[in-house]
Structure 1
Amino acid sequence: MQIAQQLKDKNIAEYLIYMWQIEDLIRANDCDMDKLTRNVISAYQVSDEAQKALTEWYENLVGMMREEGVQEKGHLQINRNVIINLTELHVALLGSPQFPFYSAAYFKALPLIVELRAKNGKKEEPEIETCFEALYGVMLLRLQKKVVSEATTKAIESIANLLSMLANYYDKDRKGELKLD
């Protein structure tokens, strides 16, 4: 909970990846609070008060996942809202002549985005979501100690660079420091 808030304040891209991990962690424990308490929450070495807050946070997430029907797949609306906000900023940055480096990063990643969208069959999905899915997928492969090809690693670097720039602009925009006009 505290980690999520810190990431949200510091780096929106890292926050989203973290929250997707939390969704998967909840799914791996069958959206069952007893299992989550036993397998996840109890592992935290924190005060009773912090443990209670953490339990409440997980309970709220489990409740939202049930209400929104994403117990098996998909993402919570709070996480989809991040994608929506980032997509809106992405479009605004591309539409402004003031951000040529962002546009260049986008056009470098674009062939990879198109290829990924063709492979996953989600052509209606926002491009930014496709980028996050690619990053998340590679992260999962690495966690499983699976080999990630050099070509995939190189492709992910382009996507990660684009998302890093977008996260940076998001932070500036949130602070009122970004001028799109």
Structure 2
Amino acid sequence: MYISQHLKKQNIAEYLLYMWQVEDLIRANNFDMEKIRKTIIEPYPSLTEEQKKELAQWYEDLINMMHDEGVMEKGHVQINKNIIVWLTDLHLRLLRSPKFTYYSAAYYKALPFIVELRTKGANKEEPELETCFEALYGVLMLKLQKKEISEETQKAVKVISDLLAILAGYYIQDKNGELDLD
């Protein structure tokens, strides 16, 4: 919860990847709050008992959302889907604005990789940015499993990551009312 609050303010892209990981942690613990307390909450040495209660409540709320929204086996809760929607809206506004040629250049540099990912089986109905996040998340999971990542994949992820980092910066500016697209 505390990590998510910090990330949401500082880097929306990292926040989204973190939240996807939390969803998977909940699934890995079979939605069992006792397991989550033992494996996730209790190991935090710096948390007070009150903070641990708040964190447990946060996990319980996420479990309830996942259950209510039917994403127990796969998929993402609506609050996480909304971030993709907001980012896609901002992405499209940035591409339409003549002021953000640097962003457009980063997008067109990433576009061949996005197209390739979508032809390799990514859901063509989902927003392009979701494809980008899925690629980054997939590589994150491979790294956690200590699996080898090809040089081509590393190159693609670097370009996509650069695009999302730029977008995340503009997202903060937009949220703070500091982004002038006209």
Q: What CA distance in whole angstroms lies between the structure 1 residues aligned with 2:123 and 2:59? A: 30
Find the counterpart in structure 2 of residue 105 from structure 1.
106
After the TM superposition, which residues 5-16 of structure 1 pair with which residues of structure 2 at under 5 Å, given as runs? 5-16=5-16
Which runs of 5 or more residues in structure 2 are unaligned? Answer: none
Q: What CA distance in whole angstroms lies between the structure 2 residues aligned with 1:44 and 1:13? A: 24
Q: What CA distance in whole angstroms lies between the structure 1 residues aligned with 2:169 and 2:115? A: 24
Compute the displacement of 1:119 (Å). 1.2
How many residues are aligned here?
A: 181
**Structure 1 vs Structure 2 CA RMSD:** 0.7
**AA matched with 1:85:** W
Tell me which moved more, 29-38 or 165-174: 29-38
Compute the displacement of 1:74 (Å). 0.1
TM-score (norm 1): 0.98
Find the counterpart in structure 2 of residue 180 from structure 1.
181
Instruction: Give the 3-state SS of the residue equivalent to 1:43 in structure 2.
Output: coil
Identity %: 61
Which runs of 5 or more residues in structure 1 are unaligned? Answer: none
After the TM superposition, which residues 28-39 of structure 1 pair with which residues of structure 2 at under 5 Å, given as runs? 28-39=28-39
**AA matched with 2:30:** D
Compute the displacement of 1:34 (Å). 1.6
**AA matched with 2:56:** T
**AA matched with 2:34:** D
Find the counterpart in structure 2 of residue 119 from structure 1.
120
**AA matched with 1:43:** P
After the TM superposition, which residues 11-90 of structure 1 pair with which residues of structure 2 at under 5 Å, given as runs? 11-45=11-45, 46-90=47-91
Contact kept in structure 1, 2:118 and 2:131, CA below 8 Å: yes
**Runs of 4+ more than 2 Å apart:** none
Q: What CA distance in whole angstroms lies between the structure 2 residues aligned with 1:116 and 1:175? A: 33
Instruction: Give the 3-state SS of the residue equivalent to 1:20 in structure 2.
Output: helix
Q: What CA distance in whole angstroms lies between the structure 1 residues aligned with 2:122 and 2:36? A: 33
Find the counterpart in structure 1 of residue 2 from structure 2.
2
Q: What CA distance in whole angstroms lies between the structure 1 residues aligned with 2:31 and 2:93? A: 37
Tell me which moved more, 76-85 or 114-123: 114-123
Instruction: Give the 3-state SS of the residue equivalent to 1:147 in structure 2.
Output: coil
Q: What CA distance in whole angstroms lies between the structure 2 residues aligned with 1:170 and 1:143? A: 28
Q: What CA distance in whole angstroms lies between the structure 2 residues aligned with 1:40 and 1:175? A: 33
**AA matched with 2:11:** N
